[in-house]
Amino acid sequence: MKIGIIGAGHIGGALTRRLTALGHTVLVANSRGPETLRDLAAETGATAVTPRQAVTGVDAIVVTIPEKNIPDLPHDLFTNVPRAVPVIDTGNYYPQQRDGRIAAIEAGGLDESWRQQPGTPVYAADLDAAGVRRALSAARSERTAQWKAR
């Protein structure tokens, strides 16, 4: 496949290496311009391009830039991308804390970390400190489908 990747950091770089190694044609872009991706291109055989070029004539697109930078992308970037082309965004769009309350909660050691896996009561929930404690203690260790999918 011909795959466009916007973002050449940890994830974009790893995808560029892996997908080219698997024989795919990769177009990779960052914010600073193709000339800054010369080393990655030389290492992998990918083509360093602009974000617009990365979404042109490709079979699939991966957007892997920090969520805060998404508004910096050209607003019409996907206008001419055919509907059949999948766009994969690696961003984790978690609900934001809306009112600025921050409370540190002691949630136990690594052996207790399953209590906050996807699908548990506390996961991505908007709770106060008491609610977080209640949700952590209400967690059950059976792996939910959402948890297994991670």
Ligand X SMILES: NC(=O)c1ccc[n+]([C@@H]2O[C@H](COP(=O)([O-])OP(=O)(O)OC[C@H]3O[C@@H](n4cnc5c(N)ncnc54)[C@H](OP(=O)(O)O)[C@@H]3O)[C@@H](O)[C@H]2O)c1
Contact, 59 vs 2, CB < 8 A? yes
Locate all alpha helices (DSSP H) within 23-115, ordered by sequence. 38-44, 51-54
- CA–CA dist 113, 109 (Å, integer): 7
Shortest reach from residue 7's CB to ligand X, in Å? 4
CB of 70 vs ligand X, minimal distance in Å: 8
Please say whether the beta carbons of 49 and 12 come within 8 A.
no
Identify residues 28-87 at the interface with ligand X (CB under 6 A). 29-32, 51, 64-67, 69, 72-73
**Binder to ligand X among 5, 7, 41, 122 (CB under 6 A)?**
7
How far apart CA 113 and CA 91 sit, in angstroms, is 22
- Quick one: which of 3, 4, 5, 6 contacts ligand X (CB under 6 A)? 6
Binding site for ligand X (CB under 6 A): 6-12, 29-32, 51, 64-67, 69, 72-73, 90-92
